[in-house]
Amino acid sequence: MGPNVIANDSVVVADPRGARRLPGATALRSLARDPLALLGLAILVGAAFVAAFADLIAPGDPLDMAGIPLQWPGDDPAHVLGTDSLGRDVFSGLVHGTRASLMIGLSAAGVSLALGVLVGAIAGYFGGRADSALLRLTELFQTVPAFLLVIVLVAINTPTIGVIQLAIGLASWPEIARLVRSEFRLLRDSDFVLAARAAGFSSAHIVVREVLPNALPPLIVTTSILVASAILTESGLSFLGMSDPNVVSWGGMIGGNREHIGSAWFLTALPGAAIAIVVLAFNLLGDGLNDALNPRLRRRPS
């Protein structure tokens, strides 16, 4: 098999001059036929729209007192979802919380991906002592429960959005590193990689332009789960009172109103429902991407 080959119908393996491999039309058609994946995608597009236009949908500062405290949904037409114990509008908090929660999830996943891909690529491609040392480092991080590590990292710093994003990302990268390492170990002796080496390309070029694009399908699927996990982790931190007090997030709304679960359950139920819907959407999309990008699953008889 020469350098100009096709590894499977979802990844194009081009010549050693470095053409990228992209998901094929078969994968896109498979995703388009999955109603649950499309539902998840529609929910996430809607959430992204709300986050982008939060200032237009709910003008004003969501942290400002807007009415009488602890109004129930429907009590006041000006506050359709009621107000919390400080008189802040719940609807405004949900709308602006969409932006913060998605930003935390995406940014934390980005940190995890950057660290995990770097460590996993070096370990998987070069092997030997580098692989052994980085694998031990990965295992060291995995011996500490991720949520406990996040709590420690946030506790020793000021709980700002940036610190929370970085802490969640630092606690989540080992899973990505092990996945990337496994993919690189499988791909480093492939024909297209050998062709690139024979053509005289550098290791950095081969890693970035040849191997990494072929390892993207499982990474794309895992990233959707990472974002959902980051949103849930931030919610857990907020419930413990470790959220950024200057930013409205769904987790922060739950944490700030946990004393009123018995008397005003809607204050925690509404942001909790928002978290559940978005996390479910990421999981549905991740499952759909897994079915679409995995050729063995696509070829499975129905």
Q: Which of 31-35, 117-121, 212-216, 259-263 has the highest mean pLDDT?
A: 117-121
Confidence of residue 7 (pLDDT cuts 50, 70, 90): very low
Q: Which pLDDT score is estimated for 107?
A: 93
Predicted confidence (pLDDT) at residue 203 exceeds the cutoff of 90 = no
Q: Measured between alpha carbons, how far apart are the two ends of the chain, in Å? A: 32
DSSP state of 79: B
Q: Could you tell me the residue ranges of all domains in the chain?
A: 39-58+81-295
Confidence of residue 6 (pLDDT cuts 50, 70, 90): very low
**pTM: predicted TM-score of the whole model, two decimal places:** 0.79
Predicted confidence (pLDDT) at residue 25 exceeds the cutoff of 80 = no
The CATH architecture assigned to 39-58+81-295 reads Orthogonal Bundle (1.10)
Q: Convert the pLDDT of each residue in 240-264 to its tens digit.
A: 888 888 888 898 888 888 888 888 8
- Distance between CA atoms of 138 and 251, rounded to whole angstroms? 29
Helix intervals (H) in the chain = 25-32, 35-52, 54-57, 90-126, 128-142, 146-155, 161-187, 191-198, 203-205, 216-239, 250-256, 266-293, 295-298
Q: Convert the pLDDT of each residue in 208-232 to its tens digit.
A: 888 888 888 888 888 888 998 999 9
Q: Which residues contact 10 (CB under 8 A, 6 or more apart)?
A: 23, 24, 26, 27, 217, 293, 295, 298
Q: Are strands 5-8 and 11-13 parallel, antiparallel or unpaired?
A: antiparallel
- Distance between CA atoms of 51 and 233, rounded to whole angstroms? 20
Q: What is the average pLDDT across 119-142? A: 90
